[in-house]
Chain A
């Protein structure tokens, strides 16, 4: 771009303070376009999906965020929105969808059940989808109102605008073992511990 290639000691110094000026501006352009054209992969399993549909419809209208193009194929999706509780039977399916989505990709966990298991502290329910896939934004609520989901989307946009294309680690899937866990097993047990009323119920293991 008309700039002379730095050589010798200059190059070493520049590499040390990277990202430099040019990369930062390119980051701005890339992040701006990514953040404003997120194509959602809707994974609606329960009542949260109704609020998600309301968010997509005219009154709230997520096309204002460039998200009106629902991608029902994971291969053309940028952001996975898990709207609703996830039973263990669906765990391999959401994981396969996540694996089929190309980078860059993000995930929003919408509602109390997707984020923590919610009221379903039972044998059949995943206690938070972050034990299955990495999650960027958690939206609380049971179900969250459309304003809540939109706030989550705006938080995700803010996060995307802070990313750098020079940072490879953002796009790497860090598995902790060959069994496909993103979290160590002890951590999964820890975050799945009962809370609230459910601590009064029995558990054998």
Chain B
């Protein structure tokens, strides 16, 4: 960051490369924030990772923001860092709450996105297209109340306490884990059907 007031030079480079897909850019508290259209988000992030002069090789965080204003779109936030250039950039992808909350996964760019995107899916219900193993990470797999960090989600949950207690007691603690995480496969029969299919495919990709 050369100056607290000037936006990052990446903004001009992004505008030159992607034009109208860059919706807006702003500087807040010394950090540059760039809003990017959802359909081009993967292209933009791939370019930021690989293009000469950008080289954002480290994905610090993936999260989302749900604003109290129901008109305002939910935003998926990518915090990028270039370890070599010692530069930061924040990319925000607005998703209309009336439509499908779907965005391309960046797992193929940064492997560290795996659990970050799972957490964002768990808490906000954002579906990351192309993620190899998109399932809940903090709440258990059979959690049926919704997505806790949405503004529409009441603080104490949607169900009564008795129903929450009943569902929690009915859960099988072993069934929270994938086959990779279990050394024994005893809980396989209790896993949800879609997870069984995903695991049967063995589609977690190659470890590079």
A positions within 8 Å CB-CB of B = 88-89, 91-93, 95-96, 121-124, 126-127, 131-132, 179-181, 185-186, 188-189, 192, 194, 201-205
Contact = CB atoms under 8 A, between A and B. Distances in A.
A120 to B, nearest CB: 10
B161 A192 contact: yes
Nearest to A121: B156
Nearest to B154: A204
Interface of B: 139-140, 145, 148, 153-173, 176
A165 to B, nearest CB: 31
Contact of A95 (B154, B161, B169): B169
Given A92-B172, A189-B160, A205-B160, A123 B165 contact: no
A203 B155 contact: yes
Given A88-B167, A123-B157, A179-B170, 11 more contacts: A89-B168, A91-B168, A92-B169, A122-B156, A124-B157, A126-B168, A185-B166, A188-B161, A188-B162, A201-B155, A204-B158
B160 A91 contact: no
B154 A132 contact: no
Nearest to A184: B162
Contacts of A203: 154-156
Contacts of B172: 92
A126 B165 contact: yes
The 9 closest A-B pairs by CB, nearest first: A123-B157, A185-B162, A192-B161, A88-B168, A91-B168, A188-B162, A204-B154, A203-B156, A189-B162
21 contacts: A88-B168, A89-B176, A92-B171, A92-B173, A96-B173, A122-B155, A122-B156, A123-B153, A123-B154, A123-B156, A131-B161, A179-B166, A180-B169, A181-B169, A185-B163, A188-B161, A188-B162, A188-B165, A194-B156, A201-B155, A203-B156
Nearest to B139: A89
A122 B156 CA distance: 4
A123 B169 contact: no
B172 to A, nearest CB: 7
A113 to B, nearest CB: 15
Contacts of A201: 155-156
A93 B173 CA distance: 7
Contacts of B167: 88
B138 to A, nearest CB: 8
A186 B162 contact: yes
Contacts of A132: 165, 169
A88 B164 contact: yes
A95 B167 CA distance: 13
Nearest to B153: A123
B154 A202 contact: yes
